[in-house]
Amino acid sequence: MAGNFEYDFVNAALERTKQNVSYNGSYFKITYPNGDVPAHLGVCTDVVIRSYRAIGTDLQVLVHEDMSSNFGLYPSKRIWGLSSTDKNIDHRRVPNLQAFFSRHGKSLPITNDPKDYAPGDLVTWTLPGNLPHIGVVSDRLSEHSGNPLIVHNIGAGPSLDDMLFSYEITGHYRYVPEKYNNSNQRGPLAGTR
């Protein structure tokens, strides 16, 4: 089933949960393209970035190029007071990923129905303290609630948790890289969890 976006992306995200990563949101100067913070460090966005990179998509480049051409459509000035892009950090900020996924993927409805969240979807939340968070919807369901389990890093390293409805959902997205020809926006895994 390789070559199917949901299968490839969800498995790349699940692979992240096997990595020993300490939560660290420090600013790092990284290479470009394909830059990454040290492999043993990361935050919630790094789970998403590394999962996409594992299937051949470099969000560092994609976000940087889009922000360079459309800076005003991103929240960097409003939130952080920035006046230009920064290849080291822009793609590692949840609000920038939300803007990118809205512009180049699909913004999907935010609902209270777990069936509306398909494998490979991206969900963003606001955590206590007004902190943004992002995770990947997996193809696994919680035995307890029936909700899809989420791959994310909320502070203890990448994990697979029943937390879809634990915090206020602020975004629900679907971003299928061009190499998958956008032909499978909601594919076969969507109903087979």
What is the full DSSP assignment across 138-174?
EEEE-TTT-PEEEEE-SSSSSEEES-TTSSEEEEEEE
Provide the CATH number for the domain around residue 56: 3.90.1720.10
User: Mean of the pLDDT values across residues 51-66?
Assistant: 98
Which pLDDT score, from 0 to 100, does residue 183 have? 52
pLDDT confidence of residue 181:
75
List the domain range (segments joined by +) for residue 75.
Answer: 5-191
Question: Number of structural domains, the chain?
Answer: 1
**Sign, CA torsion 182/56/118/167:** negative
What SS3 state is found at 1? coil
Percent of the chain with pLDDT over 70: 93
Q: Examine the pLDDT at 173 and tell me if it is beyond 80.
A: yes
Please state the rounded mean pLDDT for residues 51-63: 98
Query: In sequence order, what are the residues at sequence separation of 6 or more whose Cβ sits closer than 8 angstroms to the Cβ of residue 172?
Result: 107, 108, 109, 110, 116, 117, 121, 122, 123, 124
When pLDDT is averaged across residues 29-51 and rounded to a whole number, the result is 98
What average pLDDT does the segment 93-98 reach?
98
> Which of 46-55, 130-139, 172-181 is least confident?
172-181
39 CB neighbour count, 10 Å cutoff = 11
- What per-residue string of b and e applies to 143-177 under the rule 16 or more CB within 10 Å gives b? eeeebbbbbbbbeebbbbbbbbeebebbbbbbbbb
pLDDT at 94 over 90: yes
Predicted pLDDT at 75: 98
pLDDT, tens only, 109-145: 999 999 999 999 999 999 999 999 999 999 999 999 9
Amino acid at site 39: A
Query: What integer pLDDT is reported at residue 185 of this predicted model?
Result: 47
Backbone angles phi, psi at 9, to 5 degrees: -70, -45
Q: What is the mean pLDDT of residues 30-58?
A: 98
Mean pLDDT value across the chain: 94
The strand pairing partners of 168, in sequence order, are 126
Place 1 in a pLDDT band, splitting at 50, 70 and 90: very low
Question: 48 with 121: CB under 8 angstroms?
Answer: no
In angstroms, the CA 156 to CA 171 distance is 23
Phi, psi of 76 (to 5 degrees): -60, -40
Residue range 73-82: average pLDDT? 96
What is the secondary structure of 7-53 as a DSSP string? HHHHHHHHHHTTS--EE--------SSS----TTEE-HHHHHHHHHH
Phi, psi torsion values for 97, nearest 5 degrees: -65, -40
Q: Confidence band (pLDDT; 50, 70, 90) for 174?
A: very high
